[in-house]
């Protein structure tokens, strides 16, 4: 497969509750950034849609588009999706966002506080509907239980060509680590397990697997 342009999402999103608070997660963006660096090293044109994290790619050829919310990430990805050969959804996008974010700081009053949430748009699912035969879509699944079952469900539902599964049960895997331990599952249900490696090495493994799909 001749890869010219790659679209990658990385990092968390922040969903505002009020001007000083938000819903987010512990993602650092390291895995998505490692993928961006490796693809750029191999000569691809890389667009990195990055949630709020201080980390950046080392390769200066990577085009970085900073976003904050899930909605913003979707809008940018939608803009670049059709022209991309490989799309890697590595960001940890919030599943829910406050329905009515406050314009001013919410003051502490009652003992209980109810926050109404609504689902965010599932970026991989929505863009998977637009996927062309010559595109490769890659997703990530970070699970705590029923790992393979959940990964296979996402693979099918989101029209992915492969999914990268990691488990929070594995020491050194997941958020806030420089290492990761992954299992790759493709749409033919082939399963390949990898040992614990640096995220730079994991990025190489993932990209090598993508190249085999051609």
With a CB cutoff of 8 Å and minimum separation 6, the contacts of 135 are 84, 85, 86, 87
Burial of 100 (0-12, 13-18, 19+ CB in 10 A): exposed
Taking Cα atoms as reference points, which of 159, 213, 167 lies closest to residue 194? Answer: 167
State how far the Cα of 78 lies from the Cα of 33, in Å rounded to an integer: 20
Coil, helix or strand for 138? strand
User: Among the options 25, 59, 150, 159, which is catalytic?
Assistant: 25
State how far the Cα of 171 lies from the Cα of 112, in Å rounded to an integer: 36
With a CB cutoff of 8 Å and minimum separation 6, the contacts of 206 are 35, 88, 138, 164, 182, 184
- Among this protein's residues, is 146 annotated catalytic? no
For the annotated catalytic residues, the residue numbers are 25
């Amino acid at each position: 497969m001749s890869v010219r342009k790659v679209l990658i999402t990385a990092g968390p999103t922040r969903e505002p509750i009020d001007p000083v608070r938000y819903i987010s997660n512990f993602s650092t963006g390291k895995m998505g950034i490692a993928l961006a660096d490796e693809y750029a090293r191999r000569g691809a044109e890389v667009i990195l849609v990055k949630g709020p994290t201080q980390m950046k790619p080392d390769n200066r050829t990577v085009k970085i588009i900073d976003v904050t919310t899930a909605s913003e990430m979707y809008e940018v990805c939608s803009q670049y999706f059709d022209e991309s050969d490989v799309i890697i959804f590595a960001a940890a996008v919030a599943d829910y966002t406050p329905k009515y974010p406050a314009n001013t700081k919410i003051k502490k009053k009652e003992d209980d506080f109810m926050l109404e949430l609504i689902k965010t748009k599932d970026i991989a699912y929505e863009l998977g509907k637009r996927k062309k035969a010559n595109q490769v879509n890659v997703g990530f699944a970070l699970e705590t239980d029923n790992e393979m079952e959940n990964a296979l469900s996402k693979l099918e539902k989101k029209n992915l060509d492969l999914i990268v599964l990691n488990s929070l049960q594995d020491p050194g895997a997941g958020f806030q680590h420089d290492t990761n331990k992954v299992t790759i599952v493709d749409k033919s249900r082939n399963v390949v397990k990898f040992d614990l490696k640096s995220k730079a090495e994991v990025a190489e493994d993932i990209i090598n697997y993508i190249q085999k799909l051609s």
